[in-house]
Amino acid sequence: VGSDDWGAFLRLSGAVVCRSIVFVGLSAFVSLYVRQRTGGGAVAGTAALCVLYLGGALGTVAGGRLADRYGRLAVVRQAYALTVLAVAGVVLVPGPGVYLFVALTSAGLYVPFSLHVTLGQDYLPRRVGTASGVTLGLTVSVGGLFAPVVGALADATSLQNALAVLIALPALG
């Protein structure tokens, strides 16, 4: 029932791609990066990954509750704005404070995750299967395709420079 809004759906898909690149890029490199920033060993890197995924779990739960209270689009926009600042904190804050920003980044990336799916279904009410497949499958997979690009940039410059590029993506999203 209703008509499909392909323009809104394509904009949403672009936001999901930006989110995916940031999350996969951080997932691939945050352990090594936190070890460098904190001077810690393998435990410091493992802890960063735990914080990244724990923040994601908390963000997912919070996303639905926040959307019920403030509306999906407002929550998605605010989450992306928070994520810009949080990723900048990951990249720029030295020492143990980086863990706070890893958690905030993860929450900011996961608060809108399920909201993307339901928005996609609303934008394509005549093609909810396609909407779900694109928001959950295709656009999320694109992040994995960009992880080698982040890695190559890190090899050519530094890991900090490569991760700094990720700051712009939530703003674009």
Give the CATH number for residue 73.
1.20.1250.20
Average pLDDT over every residue of 31-37: 94
Report yes or no on 41 lying in a domain: yes
Which pLDDT score is estimated for 52?
Answer: 95
CA–CA distance, 26 with 139 (Å, rounded to integer): 17
pLDDT band for position 1 (cuts 50, 70, 90): confident
Number of other CB atoms surrounding residue 63 within 10 Å: 22
- Domain assignment present for residue 150? The answer is yes
The parent domain of residue 167 ranges over: 6-172
Q: What's the token pair of residue 108?
A: 């900011």
Q: At residue 155, does pLDDT exceed 90?
A: yes
Which pair of structure tokens corresponds to residue 149?
A: 């690009």
Please compute the mean of the pLDDT values over residues 113-129 and round it to a whole number. 94
Q: How many domains does the chain have?
A: 1
Q: Is the pLDDT of residue 136 over 90?
A: no
In which band, very low, low, confident or very high, does the pLDDT at 164 lie, cut at 50, 70 and 90? very high
Tell me whether residue 1 is in a domain.
no
Residues 6+ apart with CB under 8 A from 165: 150, 153
For residue 12, the model assigns a pLDDT of: 95
Q: 58: closest CA among 100, 102, 110?
A: 110
According to the model, what pLDDT value does residue 61 have? Answer: 92
